[in-house]
Structure 1
Amino acid sequence: MLEFLTDYAGFLLKLISVALVIGFLLAVIASGKKKSQPGSLSVTKLNEGYDAMKADLDHQLLDKKVLKDRQKEKKKKEKLEKKAQKKSPQEAVEKKRLYVLDFDGDIKASAVASMREEITAVLSVAKPSDEVVVRLESGGGVVHGYGLAASQLQRIREANIPLTVCVDKVAASGGYMMACVADKIIAAPFAILGSIGVVAQIPNVHRLLDKSLIDVELHTAGKFKRTLTMLGENTDEGREKFKQDLEDTHDLFKRFVSGQRPQLDIENIATGDTWYGSEALENKLIDVVMTSDAYLVSHYGNAEVVQVVYKQPKGMAERLGLSFFSALEQKAVSWIGKLSQSRGY
């Protein structure tokens, strides 16, 4: 009997394994035929959360009579406002609206995929009297990724919508490249800003391979198709070209920043150095020393503050519950990217 149950359990495990493989293959085939699913846009009214929190604290801390008087006063004020709007609807002033976007940048500026959709959505309804606030955190990354991210923020400026960038922790290198597009840059006292420079590194294991009698052949069409390599022997000419490419990219970076913030002494600032918020203000890297929280709270009374978030559609791995393998794949791609030749802000 025990032997029968063991055999039966083994058969069931095999059957389940086959079913999972078939299900996976069918899902992959179906996803290939299916049109890509759009992401989802969510809008959160931050004023409401703030008012609810304040009301909860008032309820917990205030005397019942005082609380009752405040609630009466609030209702009376709201009633008068509604009455005035009904009486003279043409004179009713529509509240300014602040659209809050978040950008948490990695080395590839991956967050730009969601931010570009959020900006498109906001620009479809925003007016020049409104404002876009971007809470930005990034230590920089690849040139093309942050170049695209900065270009997305320029769309807001080109639409004549005021743009404010708030930095609570860091906006360095490519992160500052994005921040400098704003009409106004606000940073916390100990936020790190600057690092207007370019860096690139590439390991080379040619000598190790040479000792092991391993040859590596690299064939290119074009003199500078590959200046430095990981496996082959690098030349002085290749190194000089690589350094020149970095200098050219740095010059492009400096021209971009000085074009956005002409008040900067770009030659003294673009050394790759960084400054804390208070020092950054002295060097004109920012306009105000303040946290993003303080800035938003200061607008809760006279503006409608809404957070806009675009969520990317789930990939096949996530839909099938294979998030572990997806994360593993992303780590592998990131590791390979770090080993390969690249220039970064």
Structure 2
Amino acid sequence: MEFLVDYAGFLLKLVSIALVIGFLLVILSSGKRKAQPGSLSVTKLNESYETMKSELDRQLLDKKVLKNLDKEKKKKDKQEKKALKKGHHTVEDSPKKRVYVVDFDGDIKASAVETMREEITAILSVAKSQDEVVVRLESGGGVVHGYGLAASQLQRIREAQIPLTICVDKVAASGGYMMACVADKIIAAPFAILGSIGVVAQIPNVHRLLDKSLIDVELHTAGRYKRTLTMLGENTEEGREKFKQDLEDTHGLFKRFVSGQRPQLDIEAIATGDTWYGSEALENHLVDSVMTSDAYLVSQYDKADVIQIAYKQPKGMAERLGLSFFSALEQKATVWLSKLTQTRGY
């Protein structure tokens, strides 16, 4: 038993030393390592769809029907090649429309904007005016600056005069809807949640608890409104009024942005912080049509090359050293604290 105790103590020391060395390597590498470029994944969704369809045909249809379908396909391909030659185009130079598909899964910090900005830059380097960008958007909103940047990234597509379509299958609320309204066309699933054009802020205050415990907190600022409300100090009525005014100003900015993008909206009736399901959102002009993103993309397969673009960030040193658990723990803690103390969030 004494041997086992000693051995367990030795293992604990070994693990502790390994963790310390790992953290030191992360700190050292973060200061010296040059930023590594990410990678771009390009997937032609037409091919996946055709492969799936062909497999089902092979399993469900008899040989005679399959043979006829194969003949029809070859005939159609031959006709398309002739049409291209008459138009003085080669197959490689086909003027066929391209639909670029990007996914945005938003958290409270709009962290996905870091990959979306790279994807948009890549698309704009090759896209033509006949093409289209489809963003499958899912977000319940978050911090103002994060979603403001995300909306600005989508505006780059509009400024390049490339048609932009936003598809919402589940939710595009608050900051998520601010992004969606940039699009030329918004498509939502029947039960997707849209709207929530409002601003929210909450700050816990433990001043009375500290006061009972005879704990003083000193806060020194230069500038009358450098800090309006605090978590630890005593809040004043003047500070509360300024904080509320800041929220109203931000809400006004939000409303002006949305109404500028979608002038058909009755912005005063819509910007109450309320939400609507897809079908109701259509009646209130929050969206342009009701269908799932899958249905919309399938409708494009025959007339366009549908291409999914995904940018992958390079792995950090923590992940490469197997310390991703600590990174995930840090992210969870950040989200929790943001929810607890968030200010001026869309």
**Does TM-score exceed 0.5, indicating one fold?**
yes
Per the alignment, residue 85 of structure 1 pairs with 84
The 1:124/1:205 distance shift into structure 2, 3 A limit, reads same
Any idea what SS the aligned residue of 2:177 has?
A: helix
**Offset at residue 330 of structure 1 (A):** 1.4
User: How far, CA to CA, are the matches of 2:237 and 2:16 in structure 1?
Assistant: 56
The 1:30/1:191 distance shift into structure 2, 3 A limit, reads closer
Per the alignment, residue 63 of structure 2 pairs with 64
**Structure 2: gaps (5+ residues):** none
User: How far, CA to CA, are the matches of 2:200 and 2:313 in structure 1?
Assistant: 31
* Corresponding position: 1:244 with 2:241: no
- Deviation digits for residues 113-169 of structure 1 (CA, Å, limit 9, x no counterpart): 000000000000000000000000111110000000000000000000000000011
Any idea what SS the aligned residue of 2:72 has?
A: helix
Any idea what SS the aligned residue of 1:298 has?
A: helix
Per the alignment, residue 119 of structure 1 pairs with 120
**Offset at residue 15 of structure 1 (A):** 6.6
**Offset at residue 335 of structure 1 (A):** 2.5
* Corresponding position: 1:201 with 2:177: no
Question: 1:34 is matched by which residue type in structure 2?
Answer: R
Per the alignment, residue 159 of structure 2 pairs with 158
Any idea what SS the aligned residue of 1:272 has?
A: coil
Per the alignment, residue 289 of structure 1 pairs with 290
- TM alignment of 1:131-170, pairs within 5 A: 131-170=132-171
Q: CA RMSD in A?
A: 2.3
**Offset at residue 20 of structure 1 (A):** 6.7
Question: Could you tell me the TM-score, scaled by structure 1's length?
Answer: 0.93
8 Å CA contact 1:101–1:133 kept in 2: the answer is: yes
**Offset at residue 34 of structure 1 (A):** 2.4
Per the alignment, residue 54 of structure 2 pairs with 55
Any idea what SS the aligned residue of 1:89 has?
A: coil
Question: Could you tell me the TM-score, scaled by structure 2's length?
Answer: 0.93
User: How far, CA to CA, are the matches of 2:21 and 2:179 in structure 1?
Assistant: 46
Question: 1:178 is matched by which residue type in structure 2?
Answer: M
- Deviation digits for residues 34-68 of structure 1 (CA, Å, limit 9, x no counterpart): 21101111011000000000001001110111011
**Structure 1: gaps (5+ residues):** none
The 1:253/1:83 distance shift into structure 2, 3 A limit, reads same
Per the alignment, residue 300 of structure 2 pairs with 299
**Offset at residue 343 of structure 1 (A):** 1.0
- Deviation digits for residues 277-323 of structure 1 (CA, Å, limit 9, x no counterpart): 11111111110011100000000001000000001111121111111
The 1:87/1:180 distance shift into structure 2, 3 A limit, reads closer
The 1:224/1:31 distance shift into structure 2, 3 A limit, reads closer
- TM alignment of 1:1-345, pairs within 5 A: 18=17, 21-22=20-21, 25-26=24-25, 28-86=27-85, 88-90=87-89, 93-345=94-346
User: How far, CA to CA, are the matches of 2:339 and 2:10 in structure 1?
Assistant: 45
Any idea what SS the aligned residue of 1:216 has?
A: coil
Overall identity of the aligned pairs, in %: 83
